[in-house]
Amino acid sequence: MEVSVSAKQIVPSATLAINELITALREQGEHIYHMGFGESPFPVHTLIRKALCENSWRQKYLPTQGIIELREEICSFYKKMFDMPSSPSQIVVGPGSKPLMFAALTALDGPIFLPAPSWVSYQHMGHFLSREVHNIVTNSANCYRLEPESLENSLREHAPDRRQQKVLVLNYPCNPTGHTFSSQQLREITDIAREHNVVILSDEIYALIHFRDQEHHSIAKFYPEGTLSTSGLSKDRSLGGYRLGTLLLPPDEKELLRCILAFGSEIWSSVSAPIQYAGIEAYRTDTELIDYMRDCAVIHELVTRYVYQRVHDIGISCPYPQGAFYLFPDWNSQRNELKKKGVTTSHELAHYLLKNWFLASLPGSEFGMPPTDLSLRLATVDYDGAAAYKTFRRKRKSAIKSPEAFVESIAPSVVEGCNQLERFMSQLIGG
């Protein structure tokens, strides 16, 4: 059979090649320290599990936009958690935030601007849609933050007509860097977006997984007329497999809403009925679920800070994270030593670490960095979430006071992954 011209341009992701290598190594009996995979490990909260069971009898198609009871609950959630007013008519519920982003990018006209590094899927979505995609390379010394000046320079260079609409995809707390924005930084981005007719697609799926010294502000609060923001249950409630995502549109964007709903109606029809009804429970703010989410976020913080500290002490360059459960270290200062081992790209570095040190990671090139930038994304979630949560509940005070001992007790594979990095570095530097 012949495949279409557009399908021919889709290249298999390097993450798949790494996954195949992981499978092969595991079949040979090797233990892999899995810092490649970013799935929150905590169990489904019993309130949500119960709601799902009680609604399992529902078999009908539901409205593409999502049932009104769920959208109302989502609005109350945004108001309570982020002081963000919205109305149910601005919300679309979809099978994960990923397809909602794709629907939004399909509906929005204009070239797409992405900070680099940024999450793997945005650039592919842009390419599937045959759209111009411009990476705005950011700087590790600056925690890979998108600076207003670099945004403005990139807009001037690639789309100088201020009247032309452009789309900027933001994601914070960020996968892969863990970086987040302060309200002042968001305001500065907003000023430029207004001036240059930029619509912001703000991926805030990690909004509630930030360190305790941080706050999350949705950019939709500062730029309500120009922001579409996505979120969902996948990360803070550890429900990636439930496939429930949300899209918040600006008020009064009726044509945009019509296009997104038309797209959804042709592709996924609606989120499954039992999940939408269980979703009502998952968005309630008057139950113990809120504390559960906060506790899980603290555990993410303790483990991620631990890995950061280890990486830093070993002498690996890595910007300090502020949320999510990732780190984005780089080995650019060890370029010469790595070259001697035949490693000149982040892809080769990820393979080298997996083959020789059984440590799985993802290459920075998958996140839009130049191939020879020797950066890797490390995820910090390779532990038993149910056991970690139980221990945290019993020993909260001591876990917070002595995070190192806590992490060593709940996440031995993460600790051993750090040990492997230490051995690798001492071998690399020691020659």
> Does residue 234 interact with ligand PLP by CB under 6 A?
yes
In 51-89, which positions are buried (b, 16+ CB within 10 angstroms) versus exposed (e)?
A: bbeebeeeeeebbbbbbeebbebbbebbeebbebebebe
> Does residue 382 interact with ligand PLP by CB under 6 A?
no
Residue 340 Cβ, how far from ligand PLP at the closest point, in Å? 34
Residue 379 Cβ, how far from ligand PLP at the closest point, in Å? 10
> Does residue 238 interact with ligand PLP by CB under 6 A?
no
Secondary structure of 86-113 as H, E, C letters: CCHHHEEEECCHHHHHHHHHHHCCCCEE
**Cα–Cα distance measured from residue 219 to residue 224, given in angstroms and rounded to the nearest whole number:** 8
Q: 19-48: which residues touch ligand PLP (CB under 6 A)?
A: 38
Binding mask 201-230 for ligand PLP (x = CB under 6 A): --x-x-------------------------
Of the residues 40, 97, 123, 218, which one makes contact with ligand PLP according to CB under 6 A: 97
Residue 234 Cβ, how far from ligand PLP at the closest point, in Å? 3
126 or 232: CB nearest ligand PLP: 232
Q: Which of 112, 152, 103 is nearest to 130 (CA)?
A: 112
> Does residue 171 interact with ligand PLP by CB under 6 A?
yes
Q: 240-269: which residues touch ligand PLP (CB under 6 A)?
A: 240, 245
Two tokens, residue 313 = 């002490």
> Does residue 342 sit in helix, strand or coil?
coil
Binding mask 104-133 for ligand PLP (x = CB under 6 A): ---------------x--------------
Residue closest to ligand PLP (Cβ):
96
Distances (CA, A) of 34 to 91, 240, 241, 415: 36, 18, 20, 11
- Per-position DSSP letters for 283-318, written without gaps between them: T-SSSTHHHHHHHHHHHHHHHHHHHHHHHHHHT-B-
User: Which stretches of the chain bind ligand PLP, using CB under 6 A?
Assistant: 38, 96-98, 119, 171, 175, 203, 205, 232, 234, 240, 245
